[in-house]
């Protein structure tokens, strides 16, 4: 199967609806809504938890009986300012009503009810630099381990400059052998600047049973069920992606591809 979920240019509405059943895995769900002013989307979480990420634009937000008011400030994702985000626990309803054109990501995974409905961004989210040389990229940790804001979801944004690589050196997190490595399914929601550009992502295993190199366009989603998954941004085009990860434990432990582990050692110098 292809691990690319294509988004046609100019699509509005419910652009992506990726459930565990659609993806053929157990944990991660990802939905994307491209909304116009006045449009509303809403849903019930059921047995799952949800993190709502306003990729762009402003919207009236509510979850778990709480009215969060109008959220959002980033009108273009490549402004690199921290995103406005909200958390909705299992067993509640959430709603978003667009005040402007906006792009809303709905990240979901099984929940245990250990956290309350709340706003989780932009406060507490800071742009950090990672890597060296053309492996330099910039990160917004929305809901990684250092933020106790979810039961199982791990969510982060990455900005990859023109001509750079990220999720690199190639690494995998497809075994449940904590603390050495954790099993985490993952989606990549991609954006390009300028929008007509493309990026490259390779999803591959060391034994070659999975090896797919994908040209991604603006608003595409790549599924990573297992294996390594580096990304490249061609000269002239900046790449953004939103990562959603989840598995049996909320820990991110990975193994670097043995052929490329020397790069990690050089970066540590």
What are the residue boundaries of the structural domains of the chain, listed by start?
4-259
Query: What's the whole-model pTM score?
Result: 0.96
Q: Is pLDDT at 125 greater than 90 in this prediction?
A: yes
- pLDDT class of 86 with cuts at 50, 70, 90: very high
Is residue 61 a contact partner of residue 112, using CB atoms and an 8 Å limit? no
Dihedral angle computed from the Cα positions of residues 255, 261, 263 and 269, in that order, rounded to the nearest 10 degrees = 90
Query: Residues of the chain with pLDDT > 90: what percent?
Result: 92
Q: Is 80 exceeded by the pLDDT of residue 266?
A: no
Mean pLDDT on 229-244: 98
7 confidence band (pLDDT: 50, 70, 90)? confident
Residue that has been written with the tokens 């043995």 in this structure: 258
Residues 140-160, mean pLDDT to the nearest whole number: 97
Asked whether the beta carbons of 140 and 129 are under 8 A apart, the reply is no
Q: What would the mean pLDDT of 175-184 be, rounded to a whole number? A: 97
CA pseudo-torsion sign 45, 50, 54, 58: positive
Average pLDDT value for residue range 115-130: 97
Q: Is the pLDDT confidence value at 221 over 70?
A: yes
Give the β-pairing of 181-183 and 174-177.
Answer: antiparallel
For 120-161, give the secondary structure using H, E and C.
Answer: EECCCCCEEEECCHHHCEEEEEEECCCCCCCCCCEEEEEEEC
CATH 3.40.50.300 fits 4-259, yes or no: no
Asked if residue 1 has pLDDT above 60, the reply is: no
């Amino acid at each position: 199967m292809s691990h690319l979920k294509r988004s046609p240019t100019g699509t509005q509405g419910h652009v992506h609806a990726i459930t565990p059943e659609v993806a053929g895995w157990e944990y991660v769900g990802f939905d994307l809504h491209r909304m116009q002013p006045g449009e509303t989307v809403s849903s019930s979480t059921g047995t799952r938890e949800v993190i709502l990420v306003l990729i762009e634009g402003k919207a009236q937000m509510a979850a778990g009986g709480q009215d969060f008011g109008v959220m959002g400030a980033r009108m273009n994702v490549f402004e690199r300012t921290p995103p406005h985000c909200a958390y909705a626990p299992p067993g509640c309803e959430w709603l978003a009503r667009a005040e402007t054109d906006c792009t809303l990501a709905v990240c979901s995974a099984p929940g245990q009810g250990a956290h309350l409905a709340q706003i989780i961004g932009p406060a507490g989210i800071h742009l950090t630099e990672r890597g060296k040389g053309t492996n330099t990229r910039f990160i917004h940790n929305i809901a990684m381990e250092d933020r106790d804001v979810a039961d199982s979801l791990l969510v982060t944004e990455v900005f990859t400059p023109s001509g750079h690589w990220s999720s690199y050196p190639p690494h995998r997190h497809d075994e449940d052998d904590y603390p050495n490595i954790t099993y985490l399914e993952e989606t990549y929601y991609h954006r390009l600047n300028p929008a007509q550009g493309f990026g490259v992502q390779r999803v591959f295993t060391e034994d070659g049973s999975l090896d797919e190199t994908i040209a991604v366009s603006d608003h595409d989603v790549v599924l990573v069920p297992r294996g390594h998954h580096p990304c490249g941004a061609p000269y002239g085009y900046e790449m953004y992606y939103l990562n959603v990860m989840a598995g049996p434990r909320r820990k991110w432990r990975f193994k670097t591809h043995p052929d490329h582990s020397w790069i990690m050692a050089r970066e540590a110098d």
